[in-house]
Structures are given as structure tokens and as C-alpha cells.
């Protein structure tokens, strides 16, 4: 049988022994794993050049890299967002691109809800207030007051696909008014959601919390920049568990410093991990998480199983579970 080479560009698992075991029955399949997230492009090209299948986590697979692949037929993005893969370049070279969009929907929704509640209830400031009050022997809530009640407040959901609609479903009992902005929902889907679907310009000034769940692409990059932040209520919070690139970070820093908005809760960054002098560190009105929306032990195993399933489908000549460039179906 013709040998098949699977190259992993970068991975977050401790090792890929489990994946190797799953593939051991295919003697002609060879899995080669690298950690090339910060490697020079030449090292990346050298590693992937003669791969049949590439599994990529965070490494950018640019048009230039894709242009230098000799025989690749499938790129699998380890995750939901695929903004680090130039899909158009892959399609032009007739390379299928697959992803795993169905492994952590509940987790990201739960993370977004945890972040919005933590920001709204000022939980992280609460810890400092508790310790200070303990040292002084008297309560002082000045750093926390005021907190408004959530019932009747408006939650704006930007991007209402798998994760956005799960946030909506999970929060229906909270007594929120909901507004959704998603220009690509079908009429059927809109009717199923049963909440107003409005343009972003209408959602922003009305929402008390804006939670981002849109994909990152050329259209949505900096969807939230200075004008959008200025359009929000000064008492509102912005939550981003989608992609760092959706938000103009410099504008967000200004918005938080100058109190155009009350606060933010962020899980995702344009550079990951951010540099030690990252501009959001040190601001009191932002809750920061380390891009772990996807994570639970269950989700972590689920994606490994789904990726192995896609490997096996490729080996057996079947299409991947979720193909992005449908024109190559
Ligand atoms: N924090 C994490 O660990 C983590 C994990 C998984 C996914 N994500 C991110 O979460 C986001 C949502 O994932 P999903 O599985 O729900 O994807 P999805 O494809 O199911 O939904 C994305 C939605 O965004 C909408 N959209 C596209 N352009 C838009 C625009 N201009 N304005 C508003 N909406 C727009 C689409 O119509 C779609 O309904 C993605 O950005 C993904 O990368 C983050």
C-alpha cells in the first residue's frame, strides 16, 4: 500500500502516543509530530512539504506555505476557528480543509457565561475587597459598588451559530431581553431562535452585555473598534470568547481606561499567549482568561477522537466529517 504521511505542525496534548496507538493497525501510515508554533517559516515548510495530511493547531498555514506543499491532500485544523489557514489558497491547490466544529460548544458557552457573570458581579475585585476588609477589620465595598441586577437587562449576542445559540439557550431563564446580530442566519433559524435579529449598530447601544461568537474572517476583523465601543452604553460589558482579531485591542484599552464601557471579559487574543507587557494587563475593569473556552477533560478527549476519525476516513478514502471548502467535496 502507498505510504501515507501525517504531519502535526503543533499540538497542545502532552504527547500523541494515544493517536499513534489508534493508527498502529495501519502499517503504511506514519505520524510525525512537531512543535512549530514559533518556528521560522523554512522549518515549517521543511516539515510539511511532503505530508499527505497536515494537522494544524495554531501555526499559520499561509498561502506561501501552502504553495510549497508537494502532495498534501488534506489539512485538518485542530479546533473550531480556522482563521490561521488560508483556505482559498488550499482550495486553489485542490487541498481539502477540514475542522472539528462540534467538540466544545457547551464549554465555550459556559465559559462565556462564567466570564460575563464574573465581570458583571466584579468577582475578581471582590477577592481584593475581602482581603483588604479582613486586614482592616471592617467592610469597605467602595471598589465594587455599584452592581445592577441582571433581570430585565439586554444581552446582545453577536454571531449566533453553534456557540452563540447555546449561550442564548442556556441563559433563557435569566430574565434577559435578547438581541442577536448575525447577518447569515436563515429565515428558519431566525424563527427558531424567536428573538429579535438586528444590525450591529442597533444591538450595541441597546445591550448591557455584548458577547462575541462570530467567526473571524476578513469581514469580521476589528468588528468591534473605537466607533463600536463608543456606541455601547457606559455601563455595558464586552465579552470575547471567539477570536482576538474581532476586537481592536488598542481601542478596547482606551475604552476601558476612559470608561466608554464599564468593563470587559476576554478569553482570546491577537497574539497568544500575549507579551508580558500586554496592554490589558493591569487594568482593573477587565477579566482575562487564558484561551481555555474550549477546554474540559471531555472536550479534550472528544477532539482527539474526532481527529483520529478524520485520519481514518482519509486513510480509507472517505471525506472528512466537516469539510470547509465544499467545492472540493
Ligand atoms: N475560546 C475558545 O476556546 C473557542 C473555542 C471554540 C470556538 N471559538 C470561537 O468561537 C466562535 C464561534 O464558534 P461557533 O462554533 O459558534 O461557529 P459557528 O460557525 O457555528 O457560528 C459563527 C456565527 O458567526 C456568524 N457571523 C459571520 N459573520 C458575522 C458578522 N459579520 N456578524 C455577526 N455574525 C457573523 C455566522 O453566520 C455564524 O452563525 C469562532 O470565532 C470560534 O473560533 C473559541
Is residue 154 classed as helix, strand or coil in its secondary structure? strand
Q: Give pLDDT, residue 254.
A: 98
Q: Give pLDDT, residue 1.
A: 87
Question: Which residue's C-alpha comes closest to atom 18 of ligand 1?
Answer: 161
* Residue pLDDT, tens place only, 152-162: 999 999 999 99
Say how many CA atoms lie within 13 Å of 150 toward its Cβ: 17
Hey, what's the cell of 170?
442556556
CB 1 within 8 A of CB 30: no
Mean pLDDT for 78-84 is 96
pTM for the model: 0.96
Hey, what's the cell of 88?
482559498
* Residue pLDDT, tens place only, 82-116: 999 999 999 999 999 999 999 999 999 999 999 99
Is any atom of ligand 1 closer than 6 Å to the C-beta of 241?
Answer: yes
Query: Which ligand 1 atom is nearest residue 101's CA?
Result: 15
Is any atom of ligand 1 closer than 6 Å to the C-beta of 53?
Answer: no
Q: How far apart are CA 213 and CA 181, in angstroms?
A: 10
Question: Which residue's C-alpha comes closest to atom 10 of ligand 1?
Answer: 242
Q: How far apart are CA 150 and CA 152, in angstroms?
A: 6
* Residue pLDDT, tens place only, 47-76: 999 999 999 999 999 999 999 999 999 999
CB 273 within 8 A of CB 295: no
* Residue pLDDT, tens place only, 214-269: 999 999 999 999 999 999 999 999 999 999 999 999 999 999 999 999 999 999 99
Q: Where are the beta strands (DSSP E) in the chain?
A: 4-8, 29-33, 53-56, 74-77, 96-98, 154-158, 177-181, 209-212, 237-240, 263-266, 286-288
CB 156 within 8 A of CB 201: no
Is any atom of ligand 1 closer than 6 Å to the C-beta of 291?
Answer: yes
Query: Which ligand 1 atom is nearest residue 164's CA?
Result: 16
Q: Give pLDDT, residue 222.
A: 98
Amino acid at each position: 500500500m502507498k505510504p501515507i504521511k501525517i504531519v502535526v505542525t503543533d499540538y497542545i496534548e502532552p504527547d500523541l502516543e494515544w493517536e499513534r496507538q489508534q493508527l498502529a493497525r495501519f502499517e503504511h501510515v506514519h505520524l510525525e509530530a512537531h512543535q512549530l508554533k514559533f518556528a521560522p517559516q523554512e522549518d515549517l515548510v521543511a516539515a510539511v512539504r511532503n505530508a499527505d495530511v497536515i494537522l494544524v493547531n495554531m501555526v499559520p498555514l499561509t498561502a506561501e506555505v501552502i504553495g510549497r506543499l508537494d502532495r498534501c491532500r488534506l489539512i485538518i485544523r485542530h479546533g473550531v476557528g480556522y482563521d490561521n489557514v488560508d483556505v482559498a489558497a488550499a482550495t486553489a491547490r485542490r487541498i481539502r480543509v477540514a475542522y472539528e466544529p462540534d467538540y466544545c460548544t457547551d464549554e465555550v458557552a459556559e465559559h462565556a457565561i462564567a466570564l460575563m457573570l464574573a465581570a458583571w458581579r466584579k468577582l475578581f475585585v471582590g477577592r481584593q475587597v475581602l482581603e483588604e476588609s479582613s486586614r482592616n477589620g471592617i467592610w469597605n465595598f467602595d471598589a465594587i459598588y455599584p452592581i445592577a441586577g441582571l433581570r430585565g437587562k439586554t444581552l446582545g449576542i453577536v454571531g449566533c451559530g453553534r456557540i452563540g445559540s447555546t449561550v442564548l439557550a442556556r441563559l433563557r431563564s435569566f430574565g434577559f431581553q435578547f438581541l442577536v446580530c448575525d447577518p447569515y442566519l436563515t429565515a428558519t433559524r431566525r424563527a427558531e431562535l424567536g428573538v429579535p435579529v438586528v444590525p450591529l449598530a442597533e444591538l450595541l447601544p441597546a445591550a448591557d452585555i455584548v458577547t462575541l461568537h462570530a467567526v473571524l474572517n476578513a469581514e469580521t476583523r476589528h468588528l468591534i473598534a473605537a466607533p463600536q465601543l463608543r456606541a455601547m452604553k457606559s455601563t455595558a460589558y464586552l465579552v470575547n470568547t471567539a477570536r482576538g482579531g474581532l476586537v481592536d485591542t488598542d481601542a478596547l484599552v482606551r475604552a476601558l481606561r476612559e470608561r466608554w464601557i464599564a468593563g470587559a471579559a476576554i478569553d482570546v487574543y491577537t497574539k497568544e499567549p500575549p507579551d508580558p507587557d500586554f496592554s490589558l494587563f493591569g487594568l482593573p475593569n477587565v477579566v482575562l482568561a487564558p484561551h481555555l473556552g474550549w477546554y474540559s477533560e471531555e472536550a479534550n478527549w472528544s477532539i482527539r477522537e474526532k481527529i483520529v476519525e478524520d485520519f481514518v476516513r482519509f486513510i480509507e478514502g472517505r471525506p472528512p466529517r466537516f469539510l470547509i471548502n465544499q467545492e472540493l467535496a
